[in-house]
Amino acid sequence: MSAPRPDPATFRDRFRRGETLVGSFIKTPTSHGIEILGGLGFDFVVIDEEHAPFDRAATDIGLLAARAAGTAGIVRVPSASPAAILSVLDCGACGILVPHVANPDKAREIVAASRYKGGARGFSASPRAGGYGTLKMWDHVAAADAATTVIAMIEDPAALDVIDAIVAVEGLDGVFIGRGDLTVALGAPTRDAPVVKDAVARIIAAARKAGKPVCMMVDGIAEASGFVAEGASAFIVSSDQGFLKKAAAQTLGDFAALKG
């Protein structure tokens, strides 16, 4: 018998404790990939509003699918705007991944947009997050503030000079290192270039010093194991599209001999 699945609402606590968590990006605006990955036991999925064609309706359905599948639904919002953040939190997201947080002021802004107490999150109990009006006002406020995970994407060279100040922002739960954007911005040939590795090491060291967890996208278990040794604990592996492409290519290759 398999162990009971953790409640997705506990994702923030598990992330902050530094548990090893495995998730994947969702690039296709349907519920099916989310249901499949959640059913397999992935700890979380990241609905990608920044680089995939998700509108609010598709995100809403995706977050419903995450709940049904028992996995934490995180959304990579397209920007740090309060409206973008409020939209996904009202739909019931367990947390947000915010791109291009390059200074502590921006980090404070995204925290404020995500929290009721001490923040500026717009209140409504009518959406899914508020139980469609069934939760009492202060019960909803307390539950939302306790469960909402705020993760800043560190992917700009400018962030490296102030990384200690960024990770020290109160209410910021952790960071995601965007190696792709860093590689391009630094003009490096690959994300394994020394200048990128040095940037990654600086970010991880700063986060560890501040007691904040680090999330990274990795190719697989070998790369993840190396970053665990450095201090990372949460990992995004591929995407629904990536898994489909890999499996389809493997299957087509298996049939190549029959095709002649």
User: Using one digit for the tens of pLDDT, what is the confidence trace for 90-147?
Assistant: 999 999 999 999 999 999 999 999 999 999 999 999 999 999 999 999 999 999 999 9
Domain that holds residue 44: 8-255
- More confident site: 4 or 215: 215
pLDDT in tens, 163-188: 999 999 999 999 999 999 999 999 99
> Is there a domain that residue 260 lies in?
no
pLDDT surpassing 90 at residue 6 = no
Q: Residue 52 contacts by C-beta under 8 Å, 6 or more apart in sequence?
A: 25, 26, 27, 28, 29
> Is there a domain that residue 86 lies in?
yes
pLDDT band at 5 (very low <50, low <70, confident <90, very high): confident
> Is there a domain that residue 3 lies in?
no
Percent of the chain residues past pLDDT 90, beyond the cut: 97
pLDDT in tens, 23-45: 999 999 999 999 999 999 999 99
pLDDT at 3: 63
pTM of this structure? 0.96
User: What's the average model confidence in pLDDT over 253-257?
Assistant: 92
> Is there a domain that residue 75 lies in?
yes
> Is there a domain that residue 1 lies in?
no
Percent of the chain residues past pLDDT 70, beyond the cut: 99
pLDDT at 138: 97
> Is there a domain that residue 2 lies in?
no
User: What's the average model confidence in pLDDT over 233-255?
Assistant: 98
Q: Give me the chain's average pLDDT, please.
A: 97
What is the total count of domains within the chain?
1
> Is there a domain that residue 42 lies in?
yes
pLDDT band at 1 (very low <50, low <70, confident <90, very high): very low
Q: Which residues are marked as active site?
A: 51
> Is there a domain that residue 142 lies in?
yes
The closest alpha carbon to 210, from 106, 104, 120, belongs to 104
pLDDT at 18: 98
pLDDT band at 205 (very low <50, low <70, confident <90, very high): very high
CATH of the domain at 67: 3.20.20.60
pLDDT surpassing 50 at residue 243 = yes
